[in-house]
């Protein structure tokens, strides 16, 4: 009997199902706080709430990363014959309400300590302010002359360059992981100063006096920037957990709102079509204007010694303009109807360039750090002049 028992034990030891893995193939246990352990824990695999939160985060990231596609698609639809029917319901009042909602969402991500930090370094706001009203007006004149635009279209491009920063820049700064409190501070400062600087710069660049209502600008600043941000700060202070829970939904909702705004502006300006060669030149001038604003704004911030996040913010604030204001100014200044078209194209151009930059910066932050150059062994002769 004992022989039979020993034979059974020996056969079981030889089976692959009961064979212990080699010691070198054993994995170390996962740390309880590691992301992999959390993703693979039984609670995470079986909890419907956790699965729903993960799916919401993935969907939010996908919509946010596709910001350029949303804006381009809305602009293309707005330029088609069905554009007015699709975006006609998005009137000026709804555009203002949409911008206010975006700023409210931005405010819920901030605290009063963020603005105190910005107030402690006013040099960054000053650098952005000078770039906004120094680089963009000069770039508008240069780009309109470079592309040989007729007077009406050149006046519209110059009006875009003389306007303050747009509120969509705050959303792009959030996506780019830039300094959002600095972005909002720069937008507010440039909008308040636009009551005096925009007419003066427009008369210098366009050659005709552009009438601007100071009370309308002040009211727009209160409705679109100051009051929504203060409301968001109050919500964050009163309901911090609710703001944290809603944060994954705020960015994609703001992306959709910006796309609707761009589509409505293009659809409203599609009533004055241009010949294809002239339209291409106008698009080239608008893209050149905003590309110069983004590039020179970043360079100015770098020369001023600002940190990386502030450089991104100054670049975005300089390159993105309040294009809707340019459309309004074109009508109030008595310019031809074609002068409003650059403002409509500008809304799409700076959103595409800014969102593409924001996506690139966001992906660069997620990428693992690596050395820029690596020394490679070289068996041949040295290069001329090499040590």
Domain limits, the chain: 53-365
Integer CA distances (angstroms), 30 to 24, 46, 328, in order: 17, 19, 60
Q: Is the pTM of this model over 0.75?
A: no
Cβ within 8 Å of residue 18, ≥6 positions away: 12
Cβ within 8 Å of residue 95, ≥6 positions away: 261, 264, 265, 324
Beta carbons of 326 and 153 less than 8 angstroms apart? no
What CATH fold (topology level) applies to the domain 53-365?
A: Na+/H+ antiporter like fold (1.20.1530)
Average pLDDT, the chain: 75
Beta carbons of 329 and 212 less than 8 angstroms apart? yes
Distance CA 102, CA 229 (A): 9
- Helix (H) and strand (E) counts for the chain? 19, 0
Beta carbons of 186 and 136 less than 8 angstroms apart? no
The predicted structure's pLDDT at residue 3: 52
Q: Which of 301, 291, 352 is nearest to 131 (CA)?
A: 301
380 is written with which tokens? 């041949």
Q: Which of 74, 99, 97 is nearest to 265 (CA)?
A: 74
Angle at 309 between CA 307 and CA 310, to 5 degrees: 65
Distance CA 126, CA 265 (A): 31
The predicted structure's pLDDT at residue 98: 83
| pLDDT per residue rounded down to tens, the chain (387 residues) | 555 445 444 554 544 444 444 444 433 433 343 333 444 444 444 567 667 777 777 777 777 767 777 878 888 888 888 888 888 888 777 877 887 888 788 788 777 776 676 677 788 899 999 999 999 999 999 999 999 898 888 888 998 998 888 767 887 888 888 888 888 888 878 877 887 788 888 878 876 545 555 566 567 667 777 788 888 889 988 998 888 888 888 878 888 888 888 788 778 766 666 677 888 999 999 999 999 999 999 999 999 999 999 999 999 999 998 887 787 777 666 677 778 788 878 888 888 898 889 888 888 876 554 433 333 333 333 333 433
205-250 residue pLDDT tens: 876 545 555 566 567 667 777 788 888 889 988 998 888 888 888 8
Distance CA 331, CA 339 (A): 8
The predicted structure's pLDDT at residue 387: 37
């Amino acid at each position: 009997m004992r022989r039979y028992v020993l034979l059974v034990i020996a056969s079981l030891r030889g089976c692959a199902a009961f064979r212990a893995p080699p010691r070198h193939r054993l994995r170390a246990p996962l740390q309880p706080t590691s992301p992999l352990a959390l993703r693979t824990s039984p609670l995470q695999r079986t909890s419907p709430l956790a699965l729903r939160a993960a799916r919401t985060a993935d969907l939010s990231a996908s919509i946010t990363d596709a910001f350029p596609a949303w804006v381009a698609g809305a602009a293309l639809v707005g330029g088609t014959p069905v554009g007015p029917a699709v975006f006609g319901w998005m009137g000026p009042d709804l555009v203002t309400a949409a911008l206010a909602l975006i700023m409210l969402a931005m405010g819920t991500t901030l605290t009063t300590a963020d603005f105190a930090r910005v107030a402690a370094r006013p040099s960054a706001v000053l650098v952005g302010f000078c770039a906004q009203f120094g680089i963009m007006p000069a770039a508008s004149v240069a780009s309109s002359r470079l592309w040989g635009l007729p007077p009406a279209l050149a006046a519209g491009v110059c009006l875009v360059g003389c306007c303050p920063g747009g509120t969509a820049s705050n959303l792009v700064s959030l996506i780019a992981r830039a300094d959002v409190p600095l972005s909002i501070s720069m937008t507010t400062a440039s909008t308040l100063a636009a009551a005096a600087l925009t007419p003066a710069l427009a008369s210098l660049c366009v050659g005709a006096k552009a009438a601007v209502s100071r009370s309308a600008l002040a009211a727009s600043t209160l409705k679109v920037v100051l009051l929504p941000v203060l409301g968001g700060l109050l919500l964050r202070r009163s309901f911090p957990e609710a703001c944290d829970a809603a944060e994954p939904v705020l960015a994609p909702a703001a992306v959709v709102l910006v796309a609707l705004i761009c589509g409505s502006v293009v659809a409203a300006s599609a009533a004055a079509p241009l010949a294809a060669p002239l339209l291409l030149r106008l698009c080239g001038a608008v893209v050149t204007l905003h590309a110069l604003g983004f590039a020179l704004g970043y360079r100015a911030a770098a020369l001023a010694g600002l940190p990386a996040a502030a450089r991104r913010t100054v670049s975005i604030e300089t390159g993105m303009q309040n294009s809707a204001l340019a459309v309004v100014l074109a009508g109030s200044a008595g310019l031809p109807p074609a002068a409003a078209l650059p403002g409509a194209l500008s809304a799409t151009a700076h959103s595409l360039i800014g969102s593409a930059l924001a996506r690139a910066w966001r992906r660069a932050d997620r990428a693992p750090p690596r050395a820029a150059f690596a020394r490679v062994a070289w068996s041949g002769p040295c290069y001329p002049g090499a040590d």
